[in-house]
Amino acid sequence: MDFDDQLRRYFGTSDLEAVTADALTAGIEKMRVDLGLERDRPRRFALWSLLYMLGGSPDLDIAFKDEADQEAARDFMDMIDRVGPE
């Protein structure tokens, strides 16, 4: 999963600064639907990670049934939170 490809798929551009608030909301909703339909674990994690960074991720117990996936997501959250906003 290429980051720029995902941005273009869900928001129509790879430049997040160019995305309007309405387009961001719509793209996040589309991503949440795709997350619910996705069965490939790595792709689900990638979608959830992007949603987390955009502030639209579902709770871990909803997104991941597997405890190992939940723990990996917690680790990701900790890592992103340590880096903080740029």
Q: Give this prediction's pTM.
A: 0.89
Provide the number of structural domains found in the chain: 1
* 84 confidence band (pLDDT: 50, 70, 90): confident
84: its two tokens: 């903080």
Contact between residue 58 and residue 51 where contact means Cβ atoms under 8 Å apart? yes
Q: Is 82 exposed, middle or buried (0-12, 13-18, 19+ CB in 10 A)?
A: exposed
In sign, the C-alpha dihedral spanning 2, 19, 79, 31 is negative
Q: What is the C-alpha separation between 36 and 47, in angstroms, rounded? A: 10
Q: Provide the mean pLDDT of the chain.
A: 93
Residue of 51, 78, 60, 8 whose CA lies nearest to 43: 51
pLDDT tens per residue across span 18-40? 999 999 999 999 999 999 999 99
Which domain range does residue 59 map to? 3-83
Give yes or no for residue 2 having a pLDDT over 90: no
